[in-house]
Structure 1
Amino acid sequence: MTLADPRHATAWQIQSLLMSYPDQRLMDRLPLLRAAARTLPAPLAAPLKAFLDHLEATPLTELAADYVATFDHRKRFSPYLTYFAYGDTRKRGMALLRFKHAYRAAGLELDDSELPDHLAVVLEFAATGDPVTGRRLMIEHRAGLELMRMGLREAGSPWANVLRSVSATLPPLGRREHEAVARLAAEGPPEEEVGLAPFAPPEYMPQPQGGPR
């Protein structure tokens, strides 16, 4: 599939909704999401169908609690893409600005309550804003995406299926990407460099919070 393939936008839109905090609006959209997933090729659709089956079979309160326990309380599954590349260091502020600038260039402004590197936000941008730039942002942070996907799979998390579908929209991993994933798995995100002043205004520095609600 190419960048012009509209099925990418459909997949990213579904994935964005599924990577957001589960609420009643999401449950009400399940028939529409199933219908949209059926239009996708098997590598994208099969893992989405598996996750939609899980949503349908699980009480909403349980889904919400699992989401919080998975993404809000465990950094190894952080949905914030710049965390894997920069950890909680001050350099992450500049990386967040790059996301903001990319969205602004496409005519989109985020609510101040949302960090621009949350995977659900990036997927929404790729689906409805600028697919070329959205895809590039995901490729630039591919090591973190793959580490999250593998971690979720090893933990038996149902959200691993959503990450499988995301990965299926991106190019196959090459040797350098495999090495980057292995290095990140072994070393983890960087730690703060003592003595450096912030590189971005405080409002762009990451604060502990949950995903898009």
Structure 2
Amino acid sequence: MDEHQKIFKIASILLQYPEREWIEHEELEQELSLLKDKDVQNLFRQFLDYLKKNEIEQLCETYVSTFDFSDKTTMYLTYNIFGDQQERGQAFLKLKEEFRDAGFPLMDDELPDYLPLVLEFASIAPQEYARKMFMIHKKSIDQLAEELKVANNPYYLVMCGCVMGIVSFLEEKKAS
């Protein structure tokens, strides 16, 4: 797993619904310490510290109010573009096709625009498919990061590190 894949994997974990089991899992700390990008490592570590310092009930409440009750900070990346319009369903079909073409068919109940799923995919998929997925969702990811920053939300730390990793990943391929 290269550096970018590690960043995407860790970000995928940190953006999941909070559970004490993964928050306190030592393997997550170990993976963080292996990141070469110290800026991203620092952002993720600050967020993990935030998780460890707060009660699970408060973390869950923050997560739900941030991602489930706000259209501006939803982790469903096509929502900001299409809302609940019919075109969103067509976008889902195209995204599912991208997953399938990369060798990762999704279950019928999985929404292909869910950010943690997209990041998990990018951590294991061939680079050309990860790159294409990020090109499709870059605007929505940047918009989510900006909304979290404006709200001074702790999840901005993860999104900032995530965006840094994506930008670096996309620029690396432009240079080669």
Is 1:70 the equivalent of 2:66? yes
Alpha-carbon displacement from aligned partner over 1:138-169 (angstroms, at most 9, x marks no partner): 22222211111111111111110111011111
Which amino acid in 1 is paired with 2:76?
Y
User: Matched residues in 1 for 2:56 and 2:92: separation?
Assistant: 32
CA RMSD in angstroms, aligned pairs only? 1.7
Which amino acid in 1 is paired with 2:28?
L
Q: SS at 1:141's partner residue? A: helix
Q: Identify which range, 130-139 or 79-88, moves more after superposition.
A: 130-139
Tell me the CA shift for residue 133 of structure 1: 1.4
Report the TM-score, using the length of structure 1 for normalisation: 0.73
Tell me the CA shift for residue 113 of structure 1: 3.1
Which amino acid in 2 is paired with 1:63?
L
Structure 1's consecutive aligned runs of 4 or more residues displaced over 3 angstroms after TM superposition are none
Alpha-carbon displacement from aligned partner over 1:155-202 (angstroms, at most 9, x marks no partner): 111110111011111237xxxxxxxxxxxxxxxxxxxxxxxxxxxxxx
Question: Which structure carries more helix by proportion?
Answer: 2
Is 1:33 the equivalent of 2:24? no
Tell me the CA shift for residue 27 of structure 1: 2.1
Is 1:23 the equivalent of 2:5? no
- Note the residue ranges of structure 2 that are not aligned, 5 or more in a row: 169-176
Tell me the CA shift for residue 24 of structure 1: 3.0
Aligned to 2:173: none
Contact kept? 2:4, 2:166, Cα under 8 Å: no
User: Matched residues in 1 for 2:8 and 2:151: separation?
Assistant: 24
Tell me the CA shift for residue 61 of structure 1: 1.4
Q: Rg: which structure is higher?
A: 1
- Note the residue ranges of structure 1 that are not aligned, 5 or more in a row: 173-213
Aligned to 2:89: 93
Between the two proteins, what is the percent identity of the paired residues? 30
- Number of matched pairs: 167
Contact kept? 2:8, 2:122, Cα under 8 Å: yes
Distance change in 2, residues 1:100/1:25 (3 Å) = farther
Q: SS at 1:144's partner residue? A: helix
